Amino acid sequence: MSNSDSGASNWPFALLACLLWSTAFVAIKIGYEQGASPLFFAGTRFFASGLVLIPVSVFFEGPRALKTAIVRNGGFLLIIGFFQTFLLYGTMYFGIGYVPASIAAIVIGAQPLLTSAASHTVPPRERLRWTQWATLATGIVGLAVLSISRNPIGGSRNAGDRELLGILLMLIALSSSTISSMLVSRTKRRIPPFALSSGQFLVGGFMLLAGSFFVEDLRDLNWNIQFLLALAWLVTVSSVGISLWYWLLLSRGAKVGALSVWKFIVPVSGAILGWTLIPGDLPDTGSIVGMVLIAASVLGYFRSSRV
């Protein structure tokens, strides 16, 4: 199968994964409103996702898939669990607590820019044209506009400083996601996608839960229907989204840089959902300009790469 054919047949699955991920920001905000703390909330979500995927892996990949993944690739699962779940979502959940859901979606949506740049520099390289580098620069300008607009010069700095910290934490999350995606796409290990998803969720989720018991007060959480529905939806998003992504990388041979370009859906859809569903989460000029620049940069990259 040629690269162009593969890209054409992969896009519905990449689109579905990104649309699912874009809904997570609103669900996380709902959980926070019920008193959830970042590490405990994230740990519960991903450990539960790992448990849910165990029978899925057994059904689709055979009863020995998960056992083989753990026995033969336990160290690799530990590394992916650290980067893809513990570090990624630990920093992301703290970051989302400091910024509106729409802004969180916009920043996280810049993921393709970082992944594409990294895939160009780390062997085996996915070469970028000068037009693609220009689109990456446009995305960086968009992030700068977004950051400055959320941290204005003059006046009270408290809210702006918190939002800037949130943006910086989410940039750390982007870097962690990039590292894990490149490790998965370039590994020579034969790990079934559901087994990989389940194993790394269990590892990373356990790390997050263990950390929460040391640094967080868990007494304020309200286990009501709103929290449980938000948690159930997040488990669904995690289980389906990352399994689709690993399946595209491991079984369909998708290139990590080209595949990540589809994440341009996340900031647009996530921001719209935040503005629509979260009271008080309204767009401002800086947010819109930043979102437009980031979306334009990723769309420009997509057109120039012809994937």
DSSP class per residue in 137-199 = HHHHHHHHHHHHHHS-SSS--HHHHHHHHHHHHHHHHHHHHHHHHHHHHH------HHHHHHH
Give the residue carrying structure tokens 């595209």: 248
CA–CA separation, 83 and 243 (whole Å): 16
Least confident of 42-46, 170-174, 202-206: 170-174
Q: Say if residue 80's pLDDT is above 80.
A: yes
CA-nearest of 126, 108, 167 to 259 is 126
Q: What is the rounded average pLDDT of the residues 180-195?
A: 80
In this prediction, residue 221 carries a pLDDT of 79
In this prediction, residue 36 carries a pLDDT of 86
In this prediction, residue 305 carries a pLDDT of 57
Query: Is the model's pTM score more than 0.85?
Result: no
Q: What is the rounded average pLDDT of the residues 120-135?
A: 63
Least confident of 45-49, 97-101, 121-125: 121-125
In this prediction, residue 135 carries a pLDDT of 72
CA–CA separation, 124 and 216 (whole Å): 42
Higher pLDDT, residue 253 or 22? 22
Q: What is the rounded average pLDDT of the residues 154-166?
A: 65
Give the residue carrying structure tokens 């389906």: 240
At what angle are helices 3-22 and 265-277 packed, to 10 degrees?
Answer: 20
Q: What is the pLDDT of residues 2-13, one digit of tens each?
A: 444 444 577 788
First to last CA, the chain: 14
Q: What is the rounded average pLDDT of the residues 162-187?
A: 83
Tell me whether the omega of the peptide bond preceding residue 124 falls within 30 degrees of 0, making it cis.
Answer: yes
Q: What angle do CA 87, 246, 251 make, to 5 degrees?
A: 155
Q: Say if residue 1's pLDDT is above 80.
A: no
Q: What is the pLDDT of residues 287-304, one digit of tens each?
A: 778 777 877 776 776 666
Q: Say if residue 155's pLDDT is above 50.
A: no
Contacts of 177 (CB under 8 A, 6+ apart): 83, 84, 88, 111, 115
The two tokens of residue 151 are: 């941290």
**SS3 string of 203-227?**
HHHHHHHHHHHHHCCCCCCCCCHHH
In this prediction, residue 167 carries a pLDDT of 84
Torsion of CA 138, 142, 143, 145, to 10 degrees: 130
Contact 38, 173 (CB under 8 A): no
Least confident of 106-110, 195-199, 217-221, 240-244: 106-110
Q: What is the rounded average pLDDT of the residues 164-191?
A: 83
Range of the domain at 58: 3-305
Q: What is the pLDDT of residues 227-280, one digit of tens each?
A: 999 999 999 998 898 888 888 877 776 666 667 666 767 766 777 777 777 777
Share of the chain above pLDDT 90, in %: 17
Domain total in the chain: 1
